[in-house]
């Protein structure tokens, strides 16, 4: 199982976007008001040195993946930029005193930067995350030496470039603000579209609850022609219904999904294939062969992604091409040695699959 890899396709239906982002690029950063410094030393903003403030939680799977990356960045920019990980949104108030220190100790040198915890007044979550219209973690804020917000985003996507821009003095805060505000506006528009989608998909979701899987397939195909913008989600729903209802026809769904514009994104292809191949016996030979065909497209689009290759190898194995599955899995593990996106847990799963294949 790959619990840390993907945002499930159907999860886009529940994405929440704040309508009022009071904190944006170019603004003075809020205070760094935390309760405990679990690791490292207290950090101050606006004292001449840029600071990366990253929000995470012990229960957050994707946060585990970003921690080693932040450690590498902290090492790269040692003495030039301070890095702070702030734990927020923990499940229980007491977790800040117990789970967070235990988590940090467990990660050891892999989490080699300053770590702090949210306070009982949830100041950090309210005045940083909510104020910026951010609803998911991990999220990072880059604060320049003057204490201004220079960048906001996922720590794995664009942070390093933003830090370089701040250090070189080449970052244009006015331009960055326009880009940030435009992106948030696009999120709001997407949220409105998703709200409409939820209403249209409500009957199908009701059929799922009643285990009327053949009804789901029928309703999906009615909407397919009428709602071209919903086809990725509709296809995912049909595939789930066919698997859960043991209706067959997974290959037909994959062939229907393959030409969609969204399927030019290797990560999205990975998710679709993984849904098919993760558990054995949920489709037939034709379904697995269709997954392999889609995997070939994925590998052409991104041939050096270790996790994509791992998924492709499993599709090959399920389809019966054992020799190619073994050689592909070996390549995946070789790529994983230098792929920053692969954490220890995922690498261990990949090694386990190679042993399962007999390689």
Same domain membership, residue 44 and residue 164? yes
**Residue 272: CB partners within 8 Å, gap ≥ 6?**
9, 235, 236, 239, 254, 257, 263, 294
**Residue 53: CB partners within 8 Å, gap ≥ 6?**
29, 32, 84, 86, 128, 140, 141, 143
- List the one residue out of 220, 281, 277 whose CA is nearest residue 253: 220
Q: Is the CB of residue 84 less than 8 Å from the CB of residue 32?
A: yes
**Quick check: 177 pLDDT over 50?**
yes
d(CA 45, CA 149): 10
> Which of the listed residues 171, 187, 207 is the one where a domain comes to its end?
171
Residue 19: per-residue pLDDT: 44
Q: Is the CB of residue 118 less than 8 Å from the CB of residue 90?
A: yes
In this prediction, residues 200-213 reach a mean pLDDT of 93
> Which of the listed residues 171, 194, 224 is the one where a domain comes to its end?
171
State the Cα angle at 29 between 27 and 35, rounded to 5°. Answer: 160
Same domain membership, residue 272 and residue 164? no
d(CA 310, CA 327): 11
**Residue 65: CB partners within 8 Å, gap ≥ 6?**
4, 156, 341, 343
Provide the mean pLDDT of the chain.
90
Residue 78 lies in a domain: yes
Residue 253 lies in a domain: no
Same domain membership, residue 40 and residue 151? yes
* pTM for this entry: 0.58
Residue 186: per-residue pLDDT: 80
Backbone angles phi, psi at 216, to 5 degrees: -60, -45
Q: Is the CB of residue 288 less than 8 Å from the CB of residue 277?
A: yes
Domain with residue 327: its CATH number is: 1.25.40.10
Residue 21: per-residue pLDDT: 61
**50-61: pLDDT as tens digits:** 999 999 999 998
Residue 137 lies in a domain: yes
In the chain, the number of structural domains is: 2
Residue 18: per-residue pLDDT: 43
Domain with residue 120: its CATH number is: 3.40.30.10
**243-275: pLDDT as tens digits:** 999 999 999 999 999 999 999 999 999 999 999
Residue 177 lies in a domain: no
Residue 227 lies in a domain: no
d(CA 18, CA 326): 46
Residue 282: per-residue pLDDT: 84
Token pair of 236 as six digits: 């995912």
d(CA 114, CA 226): 52
Same domain membership, residue 167 and residue 36? yes
**Quick check: 131 pLDDT over 50?**
yes
Same domain membership, residue 57 and residue 157? yes
> Which of the listed residues 111, 144, 171 is the one where a domain comes to its end?
171
- List the one residue out of 301, 357, 303, 299 whose CA is nearest residue 330: 357
**Domain limits for position 139:** 31-171
Residue 194: per-residue pLDDT: 76
Residue 145 lies in a domain: yes
Same domain membership, residue 266 and residue 167? no
Q: Which uninterrupted H or E stretch holds 115? A: strand 114-117
Residue 8: per-residue pLDDT: 44
């Amino acid at each position: 199982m790959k619990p840390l890899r993907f945002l499930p396709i159907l999860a886009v239906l529940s994405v929440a976007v704040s309508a009022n982002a009071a904190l944006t690029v170019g603004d003075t950063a809020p205070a760094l008001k935390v309760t405990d410094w679990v690791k490292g030393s207290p950090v101050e903003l606006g004292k001449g040195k840029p600071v990366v403030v990253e929000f995470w939680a012990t229960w957050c799977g994707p946060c585990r993946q970003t921690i080693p990356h932040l450690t590498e960045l902290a090492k790269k920019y040692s003495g030039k930029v301070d890095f702070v990980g702030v734990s927020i949104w923990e499940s229980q108030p007491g977790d800040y005193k117990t789970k967070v220190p235990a988590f940090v100790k467990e990660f050891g040198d892999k989490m080699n930067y300053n770590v702090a915890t949210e306070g009982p007044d949830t100041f950090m979550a309210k005045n940083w995350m909510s104020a910026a219209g951010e609803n998911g973690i991990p999220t990072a804020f880059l604060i320049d030496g003057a204490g201004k917000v220079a960048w906001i985003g996922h720590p794995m996507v664009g942070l390093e470039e933003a830090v370089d821009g701040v250090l070189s003095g080449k970052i244009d805060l006015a331009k960055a603000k326009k880009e940030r505000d435009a992106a948030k506006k696009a999120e709001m528009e997407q949220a409105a579209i998703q709200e409409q989608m939820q209403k249209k998909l409500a009957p199908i979701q009701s059929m799922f609850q009643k285990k009327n899987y053949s009804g789901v397939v029928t309703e999906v195909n009615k909407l397919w022609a009428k709602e071209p913008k919903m086809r990725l989600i509709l296809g995912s729903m049909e595939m789930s219904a066919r698997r859960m209802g043991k209706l067959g026809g997974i290959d037909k769904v994959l062939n229907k999904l393959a030409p969609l514009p969204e399927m030019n994104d290797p990560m999205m292809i990975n998710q679709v294939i993984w849904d098919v191949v993760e558990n054995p016996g949920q489709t037939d030979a034709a379904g697995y062969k269709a997954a392999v065909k889609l995997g070939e497209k994925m590998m052409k689009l991104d041939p050096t992604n270790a996790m994509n290759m791992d998924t492709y190898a499993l599709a090959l194995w399920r389809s019966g091409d054992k020799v190619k599955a073994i050689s592909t899995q070996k390549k995946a593990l070789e790529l994983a040695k230098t792929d920053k996106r692969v954490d220890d847990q995922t690498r261990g799963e990949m090694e386990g699959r190679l042993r399962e294949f007999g390689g």
